[in-house]
Each structure stands twice: as C-alpha cells, then as structure tokens.
Amino acid sequence: MSWQSLPCDPRVATELETSLRAGRLGPSLLFCGPAGAGKRAAALHLAQALLCAAPERPCGACSACRRAAAGQHPDFKTWEAEGREVKVEQARALRAATQMRPFEAPVQVHLIPEAERLNEEASNALLKTLEEPSPRSVLILLSTAPSLLLPTIRSRCQAYRFPPLARDSVRARLEREDAVAASEAAWRARLARGSLVRARALAADEPARAAAAVAALEGLVRSPLTGSVVEAAERWSGEAPPERPIERLLDLCRDAVMAAEGVPDDALLYPELRARLAALGSTLAATLPATLERLEGALADLRRPMRANLLLEEATLLLLGLA
C-alpha cells in the first residue's frame, strides 16, 4: 500500500511521508481525529516504514513489513487498553522497553491506540517517557478525544490531525476498491461519518433498518407506552457493534429536525424518509433537542458502563416526553 492509498485524508498522508523522508519525525507523535479517519492504518504504515530497510519505505513485501503488519515484529509493540483503561503498569513497562536497544531495526515503535484511556497514574508515568525520549524509539499515540489527554502530554507530541473523509472520497473508494454499486455506495458514504471503515461495516440492509426504526417511532408516537418503548429498545439493541443503533437513532433525530425545517435533500442522511421524518420532527419538536444532546453525549463517552438497550430506552422515553 502506498501513502496515497491509505484510508485517510491524502493531505495528512503526504505530510507524514514528507516528514519521514526529511527526517523531521519527532520521537513522540499524536494522531488525533474521529473514529474511522484512518489513524490506525497510517500508524501501521509509518511503523512499517520505520522498520523497513528497503530504499522505498515501506516496501510492504520484506520480512520486517510483513511481521509488523501481523503484529509479530519484535521492535513493534501495541499497548491496548486493559478493560476500559491503559494502566500505570503498562506505561511503566513501555518506559522500560524504550530504554532497551532495538532487536533488529534502527528504532522501536510503540503504539497506544486509545491514548485517551490512559488513567491518571499511567498518564504521569507516560509523561516521564515523553520528557526523556529515547533516540532508539518512536511513540505513536492515537486519540479520538485529545482534550482528555494531559496538556503536558499533548505539548510533547508532534500532532497530526486526521479529518473525516469527504463523502465523495468514501463513495469513490467503495466503487473502485470494493466494487460496490453506485446506489449502494452513495448511501454508505452518506452514513459513514467520514469513515471508510464505517462505510464498509454498515449492514447491507441498513436502509431497511432505518425505515423500520422510523415505523417504530411512528407507532410509539401514536401510542406512547413505556412497555412498548422497552420492547423497541431491546429489539434495536440486538446489533453489532452496539453503538450502531444509537448512531442510527441520533441520525434519524437529526434528520427529523432538518426535514421539519425544510433543508434540501442532499443535507439529509435518509432523504428517502424525508416526509415521514419531517412529520416526526414537527410532532416531537419539544423533546428533540434534549434527546439529541443525550445521544451525542453517549457516543462521545463510549466508556460509560451502560448497556445499549438501556440507553436507547432512556433516549426514546425522553424523545416521547415520558422521562
């Protein structure tokens, strides 16, 4: 895979490639941006480039590149969260690892995929590593919420910002790389939130699921019974990943607000449901703002220990004015 074929904004890919070739990469890097913007793919590509010995790095074919891609290179370590946190023991082990000589490459590469999950002790332990970086290691931190990191951690990292992918870019790549039909690529790109990964992960019957959710909401409006809300929430929550029905309800509520206000079809995620959503938007105008805020808050904090069905139940009760 070339730098320009990475599933991220091409300007960020170019910036990374230029920094690498010019020797301007710092010892600590922070890749920040929304989920699915290509941060992890870019981090893996950069790790391969740092470990690869070919003239054009990364070559993608040598032993170092292949082992890095498989997570088997001795000089490439990923520090995943344990449970809901990256713990202090991990941060201390990372610091100890950076003091060692690389096994075979010029440098070690250490990746923290969810840096915002560092707990307070781990953050302070990591800060010591950033304050005294080893010339034989490169740290790459990924974060969807960099504001949750200590300001002192952010200030010691060379930051690269990954914006959401443009809708047309997602659509074109689905058609070109996945042979997705134009009509399907269009709705996948609309619902992708700027993420090629999310576009590919959407269920093939997503439009039908959205229409079914609207029908359920229409029924609940006609007969706003708590028991019916609980049943609907249980039914919606039986999906993987669990955040998808939450995202769908949020998208439908946003569309309902905009459709009721008369925005053009191209501003809607579900333009085929426009008339029904506009009616819901008018009927539920008083409760939509609070419901949107609740759903957005839930997606912003995926560590919240609440089951998806309970969250959907709470949001729907709020929407119907029963909470």
Using the Cα atoms of residue 253, residue 254, residue 256 and residue 257 in order, give the sign of their dihedral.
positive
What one-character DSSP code corresponds to residue 102?
Answer: P
What span, in angstroms and rounded, lies between the C-alpha atoms of 322 and 224? Answer: 8
Whether 144 contacts 116, CB under 8 Å: yes
Work out the end-to-end distance of the chain between its first and last CA atoms, rounded to an integer number of angstroms: 51
pLDDT of the residue at 301: 59
Q: In a 3-state reduction of DSSP, which class is residue 207?
A: helix
Q: What is the pLDDT of residue 2?
A: 87
pLDDT of 11 reads 94
Q: Are 259 and 274 in contact (CB under 8 A)?
A: yes
pLDDT of residue 30: 98
Q: Which of 6, 68, 59, 8 is nearest to 32 (CA)?
A: 8
Distance (Å, whole) CA 321 – CA 318: 5
Short-list 291, 149, 142, 143, CA closest to 229: 291
pLDDT digits (tens, 9 = 90+) for 19-29: 999 999 999 99
pLDDT at 306: 55
Q: Burial letters for 303-320: b for 16+ Cβ neighbours within 10 Å, e otherwise?
A: eeeeebbebbbbbbbbbb
Quick one: pLDDT at residue 83? 82
Domain 3-161: give its CATH superfamily: P-loop containing nucleotide triphosphate hydrolases (3.40.50.300)
Instruction: Write the DSSP string, 275-321.
Output: HHHHHHHHHTTTTHHHHHHHHHHHHH-TT----HHHHHHHHHHHHTT
Tell me how far apart the alpha carbons of residues 213 and 244 are, in angstroms, rounded to a whole number: 12
Nearest CA to 32 out of 162, 152, 153 is that of: 162
In this prediction, residue 113 carries a pLDDT of 95
- Tokens 């707990």 locate to 119
Q: Is 322 within 8 Å of 226 (Cβ atoms)?
A: yes
User: Could you give the CA distance from residue 201 to residue 188 in angstroms, rounded to a whole number?
Assistant: 9
- Distant-in-sequence, close-in-space partners of 150: CB < 8 Å, separation ≥ 6: 123, 124, 127
User: Nearest to residue 308, comparing CAs of 210, 254, 241?
Assistant: 241
The ranges of the chain with pLDDT < 50 are 303-305
Residue labelled with tokens 């039908």: 208
pLDDT for the residue 193: 87
User: What residues does each domain of the chain span?
Assistant: 3-161, 166-202, 204-319
**Looking at residue 56, what is its pLDDT?**
87
C-alpha to C-alpha distances, 86 to 33, 52, 121, 155, 188, nearest whole angstrom = 19, 28, 10, 20, 33
**Residue 303 pLDDT:** 46
What pLDDT is recorded for position 305? 45
pLDDT for position 138: 97
Cα–Cα distances (Å) from 122 to 92, 269, 295, in that order, read 8, 40, 30
Residue 179 DSSP symbol: -
Distance CA 251, CA 62 (A): 44
| pLDDT for res 302 | 52
pTM: 0.76
